[in-house]
Amino acid sequence: MHILVTGGTGFIGSHTVVELINAGHQVTIIDNLINSKRSVIDQIALILDCATPEFHQVDVCDEGRLEKVVAGAGFEAVIHFAGLKAVGESVQRPLDYWQANVGGSTTLFQVLARHDVKTIVYSSSATVYGEPDRVPIREDMPVKQASNPYGATKQVVEQILMDLHTAHQGLNIAVLRYFNPVGAHESGLIGEDPSGVPNNLMPIIAQAAIGKLPEVNVLGSDYPTPDGTGVRDYIHVVDLALGHVAALDRLTSAPGKHVWNLGTGKGTSVLEMIAAFAKVADVHVPYRVTQRREGDVAALWADPSKAEKDLGWKAERSLEQMCADTWRWQQTAMSLTS
């Protein structure tokens, strides 16, 4: 298939592009490069020993430029990653998040509709569940009021897609609610490379381990969890990427609308993750306990059994491999910038 990947130079997008091309698909990438680098395209080509994927520096909010990319391209599907993604930042900059995540999505969907692109895989998030009544979280559990603007934008875009499916029965939609992506490609050539200070735990740990950051701020130690720190379901980004390929395949054999959790089904606390990373990398990871971050919940982890049943997909990579691949990527990234 010829697939448009929005946000395809980002962390999850770039790894998904690798796995899509591995699976024999043709890929065109668009990205505004606000939180990623164009050099990722070259790294993807190195990993695959192939020509660089087609790339356009386009913001999904820019309808005119988006139209030029989509018109006449013959896209058979789109995987939509593009958007802003930091919980804490969304609390401070809600308008930016509504504009990028909801405004950009509606613009994209309008352009796709004009050019008869009927298969959409959407990058959603476990944040749509809000503060769950219990864990693990299943897809049939209620979507509650989000605890932060980021989660609220994901809820709204999900609803837009459901409304579109009702209005246009020919649409095929997969909503993928994933938990906490970490790790990097085993080659060390691509990984999570945020601009400025990272917002997510794993790159913060890696940068503290290598001395780029002074320490890890553990955001709260008074949650109702075994060690008081937040518990999340960390999934290796390559497993997550393979979940997107599986969802795309499933839409060809089972058209319609689907929602799947992508996670491991296991929860790991912040302190457990710091300890695991320190052990795998054989380094000291300094940390300091601080106040809770507004918008965070205590514990989230998935029941991924529906994805395993429907897609034949299961997260295979261990916590140790997530840490090892992140450390390899961090060392590579530091050597390239030094």
Task: Identify the DSSP state of 137.
Answer: B
Cα distance between residue 276 and residue 278, in whole Å: 6
Locate 318 and state its tokens.
């261990």
Q: Which value, in Å, is the radius of gyration of the alpha carbons in the chain?
A: 19
Check: CB of residue 268 under 8 Å from CB of residue 232.
yes
DSSP assignment of 150-188: HHHHHHHHHHHHHHHHHH-TT-EEEEEEE-EEE-B-TTS
Check: CB of residue 155 under 8 Å from CB of residue 136.
no
Cα three-residue angle 289-262-2, rounded to 5 degrees: 125
Check: CB of residue 125 under 8 Å from CB of residue 80.
no
Locate 226 and state its tokens.
């075994």
Set 129, 150, 223, 234: catalytic member? 150
Residue 120 bridge partners (DSSP): 78, 173
Three-state DSSP at 63 gives: helix
Alpha carbon 171 to chain centroid distance? 23
Cα distance between residue 120 and residue 143, in whole Å: 21
Residue 205, judged by CB atoms within 10 A of its CB (0-12, 13-18, 19+), counts as buried
Cα distance between residue 61 and residue 128, in whole Å: 23
Alpha carbon 48 to chain centroid distance? 21
Locate 192 and state its tokens.
């999570």
Return phi, psi of residue 40, to 5°: -60, -35
Task: Identify the DSSP state of 258.
Answer: E
Q: Is 122 a catalytic residue?
A: no
Residues with catalytic annotation?
Answer: 150
